[in-house]
Amino acid sequence: MKRTLVIAPNWLGDCLMAQPLLTLLTAKQPSFEIDVLAIPAVAPVFRRMPEVSKVIEEDFRHGRLDLARRWRLGRALKGRYAQAFVLPNSWKSALLPFFADVPLRVGYAGESRFGLISVLHRNPARGPNREPMVRFYAQLAEPPGRKLAGELAQPLLRVDPVAVIAAKVALGLKPAERLVALCPGAEYGPAKRWPAEHFAETAARLKAQGMLPIVLGSPKDVPIGLSIEQLSHGAALNLAGKTTLDQAMHLIAGSAMVVTNDSGLMHVAAALGRPQVALFGSSSPQHTPPLSAAAVVIYKRLECSPCFARECPLGHTRCLTGIAPADVLAAIARAA
109 and 24: one domain? yes
20 and 117: one domain? yes
Question: Does residue 148 sit within a domain?
Answer: no
Question: Does residue 133 sit within a domain?
Answer: yes
248 and 324: one domain? yes
What average pLDDT does this structure show over 190-196? 92
Residue 336 scores a pLDDT above 90: no
What average pLDDT does this structure show over 251-262? 97
Does residue 308 come out as left (phi exceeding 0), alpha (psi in the -120 to 50 range) or beta? left
Question: Does residue 153 sit within a domain?
Answer: no
Amino acid at 66: D
Total structural domains within the chain: 2
Residue 201 scores a pLDDT above 90: yes
128 and 206: one domain? no
Average predicted confidence (pLDDT) for the chain: 95
Q: Which of 118, 120, 75, 80 is nearest to 99 (CA)?
A: 75
pLDDT at res. 330:
96
pLDDT at res. 64:
77
Tell me the C-alpha distance between 315 and 270, whole Å. 31
48 and 181: one domain? no
What are 65-105's pLDDT values in tens digits? 889 999 999 999 999 999 999 999 999 999 999 999 999 99
What are 261-310's pLDDT values in tens digits? 999 999 999 999 999 999 999 999 999 999 999 999 999 999 999 999 99
166 and 132: one domain? no
Residue 4 scores a pLDDT above 90: yes
pLDDT at res. 257:
98
pLDDT at res. 327:
97
Q: What is the CATH number of the domain that holds 306?
A: 3.40.50.2000
Question: Does residue 56 sit within a domain?
Answer: yes
Cβ distance 28 to 149 under 8 Å?
Answer: no
62 and 123: one domain? yes
User: Residue 256's domain spans which residues?
Assistant: 161-335
Residue 57 scores a pLDDT above 90: yes
pLDDT band at 183 (very low <50, low <70, confident <90, very high): very high
Domain boundary pick from 141, 174, 199: 141
What average pLDDT does this structure show over 190-209? 96
pLDDT at res. 334:
86
Question: Does residue 83 sit within a domain?
Answer: yes
Residue 42 scores a pLDDT above 80: yes
Tell me the C-alpha distance between 133 and 148, whole Å. 13
Q: What are the residue ranges of helices labelled H in the chain?
A: 12-17, 19-28, 43-46, 67-76, 95-99, 133-138, 161-170, 196-208, 222-231, 245-253, 264-271, 318-321, 325-335
Residue 62 scores a pLDDT above 80: no
pLDDT band at 35 (very low <50, low <70, confident <90, very high): very high
Question: Does residue 150 sit within a domain?
Answer: no
- How buried is 135 (Cβ within 10 angstroms: 0-12 exposed, 13-18 middle, 19+ buried)? middle
Residue 214 scores a pLDDT above 80: yes
Residue 190 scores a pLDDT above 90: no
What are 122-172's pLDDT values in tens digits? 988 877 778 899 999 999 999 998 999 889 999 999 999 999 999 999 999
Cβ distance 231 to 198 under 8 Å?
Answer: no
